[in-house]
Structure 1
């Protein structure tokens, strides 16, 4: 990383130029962030507490929710603080950390979504083999493999990016540090970095998209053979939200990372990045989880249990307080 010492810090973009618009967008992003945290936290608690949801599908759903809370926390809080305080500076080390975690979370996200497509395929197309194929050992191995491979990929991209020299400018046209934005600022030859991005996109994004598309094509073929329309609807209801999340995530990320080196307006740059860094963590608990009847029932059970526990503790407190007052009298 010695070559990057020509620039000791970077300046991140804010959401807008005027203070009023910055305040409005910051509040909006903050609400989306809090909504995402709350929604994913509900999924985590519900799938952990309710023993009936101790299945591979909800195991990966819980892992996805944990990941999404981390993913959205890497970019949004810092961006909101920067916009509200007009503090745009980020150190080279901070920028490297942000790139690493964004890349890591994005890789794990697509791998988890791919495994979840495999889960839906086995559940619908091979229901009798589901307990054999999607066993606990397989789920644990796939989770560890996703995390380990993503760590390596994120580490390689971060190291390769910060081996470049940054001497043209230190103004990042983005509300967080990402690889394409930094490549534009570099005064070194970025051919190898772009080639690495392309290969990563083909190997990870392309293979995952192909696997997901193939899985859903087979699911569609199987579902259309079901004679009962109601059963078709149930099968489609578990698959359509997954397709929406995958499509939004992959299409926006692919355009940002693989588009030709054209200059876009700052608003366009930020909007595109929002679709693969903020939208998926916000949408997952809404359209993929909270529409699920089992999740809804589990959330109701957890909520009632919390209310009953709080009510019981408060009743104990007031009863003890009343007895103390009577004894004092």
Structure 2
């Protein structure tokens, strides 16, 4: 089979004759149709992500495809079933083995590209805003990186949850995408003073931050009393240091959030979230924004779209020739 592999950390290649895996006990073999990319894939390739698979490996965290073989002990799934899986890695290949317990059945109306782009971005925002931050109708949600893969879903879901949404992104084109997703107010990091603008708009009750760096600091200083700040990731490359006295004075809570961590200690949080999100998609209330879809042979170009921040929403790789 073909697979885009990390042969050593920082080095990748498209392997044309990689061995086709076989499912072990409790696993399924998936014919992968589509794999959505995430910023974490870039970190995994470099070897700086919190999880480091054994070399060589195919990156690609979230996939959608068709089950073609079952490992021993798998009785709740059938060959031919269409499923989505967050497998952590292994998605940038024509076939992959994944735990059966992580497979989520796809609605009949959902295609593979949509399904691949759906899981991490939407469920990250849904679990963060609903389960962790308890976002309430009427509150003000400040979304940093609002045109990115997870940021855009935070705008969309925040609006559905009844919040006033302030979207922060770089440049008019990206802000237009956030506006289309439902943002009430827009802040351009190229021209605007984030802290001053948020304060003018009444301050933030919940901050959704996949960026980190100076934007985190500015957002923290624009918070209202009892605000909740969600640390989703650090796309800026700068992990901010938190001034605890700022938290004390306004009774602010900073909430660490790693979506994939729930797979290990509370997976029902994620499966419940995905079930609710599939229902929202089926009723037409949410639709993934996919800016680019490329074939496996152009995986490097697809990753560069993330690396250079030229994409909006999600980038998906299809296993086509």
Do they fold alike, i.e. is TM over 0.5? no
Considering fraction of residues, name the structure with more helix. Answer: 1
Identify which of structures 1 and 2 has the higher relative contact order when contacts are C-alpha pairs closer than 8 Å and 6+ apart. 1
Q: TM-score, normalised by structure 1?
A: 0.24
Q: TM-score, normalised by structure 2?
A: 0.24
Q: Compare CA radii of gyration and give the structure with the larger one.
A: 1
Considering fraction of residues, name the structure with more strand. Answer: 2
